[in-house]
Amino acid sequence: MSAPVEYVPTGRLRISDLPRLASRHPLVIAGGGLLALLIILALAAPLYAGDPVNMDPFKRLQPPSDEMWLGSDNLGRDVFARTIFGARISLLVGLLSAASAAMVGLLIGVVAGYSRSFDNIVMRVMDGLMSIPTILLAIALITLTGPGIGILIVAIAIPETPAVARLVRSVVLGVRERPYVEAALCGGAHLPKVLWRHILPSTVPALMVQGATVCASAILTEAGLSFLGVGVPPEIPSWGNMIASSRLYLAIAPMTIFAPGVCLAVTVLAVNLLGDGLRDMFDPRAKRRR
């Protein structure tokens, strides 16, 4: 799933090359397209979905109707609107956690990959972090600070960081011995410039692939934490919250639990497809089929 990706470059990878590269990899198109669709739907939610927090005690646990397309939950709130607005939370937490884990992991990985003395200490700390269960760490952090999206993102990003750092470190260890890095040093380049110009670009493919994996797992972790009641505050609609509050009414109003559940599965699927596609795209040795 997160095997180290060694990108063997045949030339420079430009942003403008990405669409052409992607067009040869259907997984990238499928995953990326689905994810983009979800993001647009979530962003445009106020345009077409109703109010996700408005409660109507007289319309509790209603079946789907013209007014409320997926019915209502136990407090009379519009399940469709809540599902759509819940996508915002999932995507926000997923993407931001992945981005922060990727940034911090990149920084730590590059430094550890380049500096022998730092490497030993930092990678042992990373090993330690890896052994902490994500859910437990998040519960501990949120108990300390109180629920909030910011702390949730931090709590999810911390345990994901070591995997990114390890991957980046392994790429940097491989690249730093390349003669062109030595040539840059001979040419009088300072270390920051060598890192920025000659080493960092090589880590980008691995980082993108790992980022997708982290994103998928962050979305699931967020849902799990919200389900447990330590995720986003209960007044904010999120898929985890919805599944948690609806599980008692599964028999009466199944839509209240199916809608967020299906959305969650589709989102994670989209991100995973994208990640697998990117891995195939960047790794020329990966076989397309089996």
Partner 1 sequence: MNGPLLKVDNLTKHYPLGSGFFKKSIPVIRAVEDVSFTVEAGETLCIVGESGCGKSTVARLLMRLVEPTAGRVLIEGTDIASLKKHTLHAWRRRMQMVFQDPYSSLNPRLTAGQIITEPVENFEHLNRKQRQALAADLLRKVGMSPEMMHRLPSELSGGQRQRLGIARALSLNPSLIIADEAVSALDVSVQAQVLNLLLDLQQQMGIAFVFISHDLGVVEQIAHRVAVMYLGRIVELAPSEALFAKPVHPYTEALIAAAPVPDPTRIRLEAAVEGEVPSPINPPSGCAFHPRCPLAVERCRIEVPPLVPMVDGRVVACHVRAPATGMPGQVYAVANLATPISAITGR
Is there binding between residue 21 and partner 1 (CB under 8 A)?
A: no
Within 198-217, the residues that bind partner 1 by CB under 8 A are 198, 201
Using CB under 8 A as the binding criterion, the count of chain residues that bind partner 1 stands at 21
Site string for partner 1, 148-187 (x = CB under 8 A): ------------------------------xxx-xxxxxx
Q: How far is CA 153 from CA 54, 126, 169, in A?
A: 27, 18, 24
Report phi then psi at 127, rounded to 5. Answer: -60, -40
Cβ density class 180-194: b for 16+ within 10 Å, e for less: ebeebeeeebeeeeb
* Cβ atoms of residues 165 and 112 within 8 Å: yes
Please state the closest distance from residue 51 (CB atom) to partner 1, in A.
50
Token code pair at residue 163: 């995997």
For partner 1, the closer of residues 178 and 247 by Cβ is 178
Query: Of the ranges 8-16, 27-35, 50-58, 122-130, which one interacts with partner 1 (CB under 8 A)?
Result: 8-16
Give the helix/strand (H/E) hosting 137. Answer: helix 134-145
DSSP letter string over 247-276? GGGTTT-THHHHHHHHHHHHHHHHHHHHHH
Q: How far is the CB of 191 from partner 1 (least distance, A)?
A: 9
* DSSP-derived secondary structure for 200-250: HHHHHHHHHHHHHHHHHHHHHHHHHHHHHT-SS-TTS--HHHHHHHHGGGT
CB of 12 to partner 1, least distance (A): 4
53 sits near partner 1 (criterion: CB under 8 A): no
9 binds partner 1 per the rule CB under 8 A: yes
Q: Which stretch binds partner 1 (CB under 8 A): 18-26, 126-134, 194-202, 256-264?
A: 194-202
Tell me: does residue 13 bind partner 1 (CB under 8 A).
yes
Comparing CB distances to partner 1, the nearer of 9 and 26 is 9
Q: How far apart are the C-alpha atoms of 7 and 239, rounded to whole Å?
A: 36
Report the residue from 189, 228, 266, 269 that binds partner 1 according to the rule CB under 8 A.
189
Q: Which residues bind partner 1 (CB under 8 A)?
A: 9-13, 178-180, 182-190, 193, 197-198, 201
